[in-house]
Structure formats: C-alpha cells, structure tokens
Amino acid sequence: MSARRALDLSLYLVTDAALCGERGVAATVEAAVSGGATIVQLRDKHASDEELLALLARLDEAIAGRVPLVVNDRLELVLRARAAGLRVDGVHLGQGDAAVLRARAELGPDAIVGLTANTPAHLAAVAALPAGTVDYLGVGVLRPTSTKPDHPPALGIAGFAALQAAARDAAGAPVPCVAIGGVRLEDAAPLRAVGAAGLAVVSAICAAPDPRRQAADFAAAWRGGATPRTAHEPRIPRVLSIAGSDPSGGAGIQADLKSIAAVGGYGMAAITALTAQNTRGVRSVHVPPAASLLAQLDALSDDLIVDAVKLGMLANAELIRTVAEWLGRVRPPLVVLDPVMVSTSGDRLLDPEAEAALRELLPLADLVTPNLAELAVLAGADGPAADWASALEQATALSARTGVLVLAKGGHLGGAEAPDALVDARAGAALAEIVEFHGERIATRATHGTGCSLSSAIATLRARHGAWEPAVAEARRWLRESLRHGASLEVGGGNGPVHHFAGLWTRGGLDTAPTPAELGAEWWADIAELRRAIDELPFIRRLADGSLPRTAFDEYLAQDAHYLREYARALAEAARLAPDASAQAFWAAGSRECLTGELARHERDLAGALGAATGGAAAEFEPNAVNLGYLDHLLASGARGGYPELVAAVLPCYWIYDDLGRRLLAGDFGPEPGSPEHPYADWLAMYAEPSFAVSTQRAIELVTGVAAAATPEVRERMHRAFRRSAEFELAFFAAPLAASADDAPAPPGCGTRALSATIGA
C-alpha cells in the first residue's frame, strides 16, 4: 500500500528541534502521534546530514509505521535515507516547480510530495504542473508566527479559503490544502468548515508541556468542530456500533441502533459478523473478511464525524487488530468496549485465540463493560466472581492494570439485586474510586441483549452529557424500564429482547423517569457516607453505650427542642401546601405528633434533669448555628421550591432517626441498650417505636412519589434539598460534643438568621 493512498493530513505535525527542547524531537513525535497527529514532517534547517540520518532512524522507531513521515527541503537526504533502508515517505519543498518535478521523478509515484504556496503566483505555478505532481499544498501563514520569522502577511481564514479555492492542478482537480503558520485550536472548526484538508502545527505541539494531550486536543477540535452549536441546541451524538448482527433484533448491532436512537443519538453500524441466532441461542456465525470491515470503517471516517464508538462482538483476532488499527488512526473521542465473549444465553461469540488480541485492544477504550464471566477472563481471575465484593475487586485489578475505566455488571449475580459499578483505579489500585448503582432485580426473561443495549446507551449518553456517572445512571434507568416492558413484545420462546422504546411509546418522551422506589434507593445510597459519618460520631457511640455525659445530652435535647418546635411549623406548612387531602392529613398529624410526642418528652426530660427550681433549660437556651442553619434551609426550601422541595427537605429527619433508632436499639453499636439502667433507654426507645417506622415509610412514599412525577429539574432540586438536610443532621449530632465551635463540622452553608423566625408563618 502506498503512503499516498487516503493521505490523512488532518493533523500535520512539523518538528522544531529548538522548541522540543530537552524532551527531544523523537519523544515529541512519539507523543504527538499517540495523541492523534496524522503525518509528521521533520524540519531542521541547521542539522548536518549525519545528524538527520541518525534522527530519522529514531523517528522511524517512534512512529512505528502509524503515520507517514516526510522531510522538509532536503531531497538528497531523503534519497540517501531511502537507499540506506530508512523509512521516509516523501518530501516537503519550498517554492519551485522545478524542484517538485524533480522530487516526483526521483522518488516515484508512491512517495508524498508537498509544496508550500502562499500567493496567487505560487498557485498559478502549481496549476501548470502535471496532475499528481504534488499531493498537497501547505498554505499560510494563517496567523502571524515566530517559527517562520520572514513570513508573508497573515491570511486569516478568509485569505486561506480564497487561496485554497484557486488551488487546482493542470487537470483542474482541486489540490488538498493544509493551513500552516500560527494555527490555534480555535481555528480547527472554521478551517474544517471552509474545506481545509488539515492543520499544520509547529510550536503549539512541539513547545507544549504535554504534546500528546495537545495533539489530542487538536485532533478532537478538528473532528468535533464542523458545525458549532449553541447550548440551546445540543449536538445529537453520532454513535458508531462496530458489532455483530443478531437477526432476531434483540442483541448485536440491531440492539445497538435501537438503544442509540432510544436515548437520543444518531446510530451507525459496521458489521463484524453475521450470527444466525434467535432468543433461544446462537446457531452459527459467519465472519466476513477483515478487508470488508475496514472498508466499512474507512467509508465512515472518510466522510463523517464519529462522536462515540461502541465495540461489541469482534469475532476473531484479525478483526480485532483491524479495529485497533482504525481506532489508532481515526481516534474517535469516546470508545466504549463491550468485550463480548459469551452471550447472555451462554454461547461463545469470540475465538478463544482472540482473547489475547482483545486484551491488547483494551487500552484503546475509555470504558469497558464486561459481564461477570468476561470480567474474570480479562482480570485473569480463576473464575467468575461469586459475589459483588469479588466482582468489584476484579474490576479494580483490571482498571489498575489497563488504565481503563471499568463498568462491573451484576446482571449474572444471583440474588434480589442487580447492581452495576463504575470502577476507576486508573491512578493505581490503592486509590480506586467506585461508584455503585443499585436497583432490585427485575423478574423477567427478557434479558437478551441487555449488555449490548446498556453499552450503546452509555456511549451515547456520555457523548451527550460529557461525564460517565450521569451517563451510566440514565442508561440504567432507561434499560430497567426497557427490561420491565420486554415481555410485552412477545418475541420468541427463549430469553426475549428488552423493549428499547418502552419509554418513548408509553410516555412519549426521552425522559426516562425513575420509579419512586428507585429514587428512594438512589437518594438513600447517595447519603451513605453522611450516614456512616453519623454512626462514627462520639455522640452516637457514647449515646449507645451510655457513657455520654448528661450535660452533652441535655445540650442536645435543648437544641432539639428548639428545632422540633420549628420543624412542626415546617410540617404544618407541608400540610398547607399538600396537593391532596391524604397528604395534608399526614403532614398535619406529623406536625401535631412533633409537639405532643417528641417535644413534650424532651421538655419533660430536660425539666427532670435540671430540676424545676432552675426554671428549666429554656431560660438560658441559645440555638446554635447548625440549628438555625437547618431551620433556615427548611424554610428556604419551601419558600423557593414549594411543596416538592419542602417535603424533600423534611424527609431526612424522619428517615435518619428511624434508621438510627432501630439500629441503636438492636445493638448494632455494641451492647444492647435495652436494659432499664441505660441512662438514655427511654429516649432510644422512642425512635424505635413501630408507629414512627410507619410514619417514616409513608413520608418516604409521599416524597419519592412527588419526585418521580416531577420534571428532571424539580427532581434534582428535591434531591439537593434532601441531601443538604442530611448534611445538617450530621452537623446537628456532632455539635454537642464539639469542644468549641471550631471542632464542629462546618454547618452546611447556613442561610440568614432572620428567616427562621418566620417559618411556617
């Protein structure tokens, strides 16, 4: 294959030894090519032939055949290098039609010959050359630059476009033009829009602290920048699935195209294999030649921009290498690899010998989404994880070893849960970051193609949202709804497909709303670390074992008494705003119970402890900053967000106390505090009362019901109000034992004091 075929000039690196500095030219080129440079020109006006020959040998190694290499000006040197067996693909010459004619004659038809052209006169000279003499023109300078001190006046985008329009050879065919001279990142989109063949970059990459990153940024700007959009008109992600065909329509590319469309992307598919399968299993597989796959891929990348790639069944080692080569060349901004080896039905979809090739492909992916069996193979474990904790361990090891983000999937775990987790140990296993997604297992046989569907949805949503966590959360929500409606399709007698468009057809929208139960689980999981911190507080520990000093307990009771009086007003306000009589009655009863139950008990306890003679604690009482902040938060939530935010904000006070009360009484914190001698036995029993558990359950149902029916924006504000209240709960419990205000955890952003006086008014 000649270097001229499908010459990719999109990111043309020109070297400058001085700018490369101590890093050196070879290391800079290596990094830039890894980042996405598509062609390299060695440019050195001062080095001797011997020095350049030695450098060419090193560049040959650094480039490793990935992109073409040409040399600036020195045709004799190119001829010498080639004679010595060094790989040099061509030459770039300054002006002079005689010089290019000679270069073409000496180097032959397959070599690359480029020419600089800055003026209409140069273009006229080019137009007189026989067709095929030059492969491209370097047209510049685009902006004033220091790397060419004697440069002609800067062209700007319009000047470049005008010269390019005139660049034709003797046969009248357009000659590709690369913009050179002071090219910046922000020039990529307009240059591509006016039809430039690429960007030539010198100092922006050679002098960059991280040439790989910088090249990747240029490559991304070039690929992504054809049609700039506004924030109000988000781009529809163009997502390519490279996967096998499942004629039954539930897995493979068929599932991928449906999934991409269902979550809001434009889907494309290059087919790696034709399986004959249905919902019961795979009967046979036909794998087309690798050249056919490459032709599909090149047809796409020669024409359009791919925002994300999802890789599915890759069948054999040759196809995997073909895909790897294409990815290395085209460098799509996002790659999600679903390492399909064994289908949900248990059929092998990858040659055993291809496993090694798949391992080599891994580092080219941004996210890999193995099921339990595939995870074990990739992590080199003895067998599939038997429980979720071992799955997370395997995923951590895999992520640490490959530097790739891993989505561990619990679809094949037994049990009532179907968890997934994003595992990021790219910075080393000890620093693994794990984000878990929980949800109950859905009782259905419609699980054919769940892995394919999930990975394509994630690729699409990651391109839309720009972050992994919301992409996975939304993809899961969508998949779970699709799983729930799968059986309604009545497809096949085995494991049927999921209903990819369930949400779209039943609700007429892309808003994949969660159920109340899912939201409850999500919010509760989200405050897990706050709940753990509450468990660890000395106040809670010592309350449980009875060693808490009475003064600290009384301080807590006094603060809580103040809080409860105002909290009762917040509940009354919830009753006032409630949308129906049942909710109204519930919150009103809660408000009353607050005053006649909890608060009355606190006041009795306080009076008992301090003695009626002192006049009770209330006389010297001052609410602390946490208390005021918490109450302001409740008030502000209602004032700003009405009923939904107000009830979200009051919920943690039910839920956390109910949970804590039950666990304290059950002895989760050490010896059972049930004995009558325990100084706080009475108090502990109050929150473990069954009636409190019933109220808590009802409060959770009411709040998550409102959230599930709300718009995503309101839902998110409710979630924030809920979380903030949980933060206040932690600070509230910490305050009594904090020696000084400085020791207490900072109250989470207190509002203004004045507001708390008017709560519920």
Ligand X SMILES: Cc1ncc(COP(=O)(O)O)c(N)n1
Question: What 3-state class would DSSP assign to 270?
Answer: strand
Closest CB 393 distance from Mg ion, rounded Å: 21
User: In the window 83-112, what residues touch ligand X (CB under 6 A)?
Assistant: none
List of residues 6+ apart from 618 with CB closer than 8 A: 558, 561, 606
Nearer of residues 277 and 344 to ligand ADP, judged by Cβ = 344
Residue with the two structure tokens 């769940």: 450
C-alpha distance from residue 319 to each of 287, 312, 328 (Å): 9, 12, 14
User: In the window 377-436, what residues touch ligand ADP (CB under 6 A)?
Assistant: 409-412, 418, 420
Whole-angstrom distance, CA of residue 80 vs CA of residue 297: 37
Closest CB 213 distance from ligand ADP, rounded Å: 32
Contact window for ligand ADP (CB under 6 A) among 129-137, 252-260, 437-445, 660-668: 437-445
Nearer of residues 334 and 368 to Mg ion, judged by Cβ = 368
Please tell me whether the peptide bond between 423 and the residue prior to it is cis, using omega within 30 degrees of 0.
no
What angle in degrees, to the nearest 10, is found between the helix axes of 252-262 and 450-465? 40
Closest CB 170 distance from ligand ADP, rounded Å: 57
Nearer of residues 447 and 512 to ligand ADP, judged by Cβ = 447
The count of residues in the chain is 761
Nearer of residues 439 and 451 to Mg ion, judged by Cβ = 451
Closest CB 256 distance from Mg ion, rounded Å: 12
Q: Which does 198 bind (CB under 5 to 8 A by kind): ligand ADP, Mg ion, ligand X, none?
A: none
List of residues 6+ apart from 279 with CB closer than 8 A: 248, 250, 448, 491, 492, 493, 494, 495, 496, 497
**Concatenated DSSP letters of 156-199:** HHHHHHHHHHH-B-TTS-B--EEEESS--GGGHHHHHHTT-SEE
Contact window for Mg ion (CB under 5 A) among 91-99, 119-127, 366-374, 621-629: 366-374
**Position 275 contacts ligand X (CB under 6 A):** yes
3-state secondary structure 620-677: HCCCCHHHHHHHHHHHHHHHHHHHHHHHHHHHHHHHHHHHHHHHHHCCCCCCCCCCCC
Structure tokens at 713: 């924006």
Q: In what side-by-side order are the strands of the sheet with 405-409?
A: 281-286, 266-278, 238-245, 308-311, 335-337, 367-368, 405-409, 420-424, 433-437
User: In the window 499-558, what residues touch ligand ADP (CB under 6 A)?
Assistant: none
Residue with the two structure tokens 């699935």: 241
**Position 217 contacts ligand ADP (CB under 6 A):** no
Helix (H) or strand (E) holding 573: helix 550-577
Structure tokens at 157: 């985008």
Contact window for ligand X (CB under 6 A) among 213-221, 338-346, 526-534, 541-549: 338-346
Q: How many CB atoms lie within 10 A of CB 689?
A: 15
Angle at 229 between CA 228 and CA 235, to 5 degrees: 110
Nearer of residues 355 and 603 to Mg ion, judged by Cβ = 355
**Position 483 contacts ligand ADP (CB under 6 A):** yes
Q: Which of 38, 399, 450, 725 binds ligand X (CB under 6 A)?
A: 450
Closest CB 409 distance from Mg ion, rounded Å: 8
Contact window for ligand X (CB under 6 A) among 147-155, 442-450, 469-477, 569-577: 442-450
**Position 446 contacts ligand X (CB under 6 A):** no
State the number of binding residues for ligand X (CB under 6 A): 18
Whole-angstrom distance, CA of residue 12 vs CA of residue 37: 6
Contact window for ligand X (CB under 6 A) among 74-82, 244-252, 708-716, 725-733: 244-252
Q: Is 146 annotated as a binding residue?
A: yes
Q: Which of 140, 244, 439, 661 binds ligand X (CB under 6 A)?
A: 244
Cα torsion for 627, 633, 635, 640, to the nearest 10°? 170
Closest CB 472 distance from ligand ADP, rounded Å: 9
Whole-angstrom distance, CA of residue 436 vs CA of residue 456: 19
Nearer of residues 237 and 250 to ligand ADP, judged by Cβ = 250
Nearer of residues 411 and 674 to ligand ADP, judged by Cβ = 411
User: In the window 368-397, what residues touch Mg ion (CB under 5 A)?
Assistant: 371
Q: Is 203 annotated as a binding residue?
A: yes
Q: How many CB atoms lie within 10 A of CB 53?
A: 15
Radius of gyration of the chain (CA): 33
Q: Which of 133, 145, 343, 756 binds ligand X (CB under 6 A)?
A: 343
**Position 241 contacts ligand X (CB under 6 A):** no
Closest CB 417 distance from ligand ADP, rounded Å: 9
Q: Which does 349 bind (CB under 5 to 8 A by kind): ligand ADP, ligand X, Mg ion, none?
A: ligand X
Nearer of residues 346 and 508 to ligand ADP, judged by Cβ = 346
**Position 340 contacts ligand X (CB under 6 A):** yes
Q: Which of 246, 481, 573, 727 binds ligand X (CB under 6 A)?
A: 246
List of residues 6+ apart from 362 with CB closer than 8 A: 337, 339, 368, 378, 402, 404
Nearer of residues 372 and 583 to ligand X, judged by Cβ = 372
**Position 451 contacts Mg ion (CB under 5 A):** yes
Q: Is 41 annotated as a binding residue?
A: yes
Catalytic residues: 409, 447, 449-452
Whole-angstrom distance, CA of residue 12 vs CA of residue 202: 9
Which residues are part of a known binding site? Answer: 41-45, 72-73, 97, 116, 145-148, 182, 202-203
Which residues are part of a known binding site for Mg(2+)? Answer: 73, 97
Residues in contact with ligand X by CB under 6 A are 243-246, 251-252, 275, 312-313, 340, 343-344, 349, 448-452
Residues in contact with ligand ADP by CB under 6 A are 344, 371, 409-412, 418, 420, 441-442, 444, 447, 450-451, 454, 476, 479-480, 483
Residues in contact with Mg ion by CB under 5 A are 371, 451
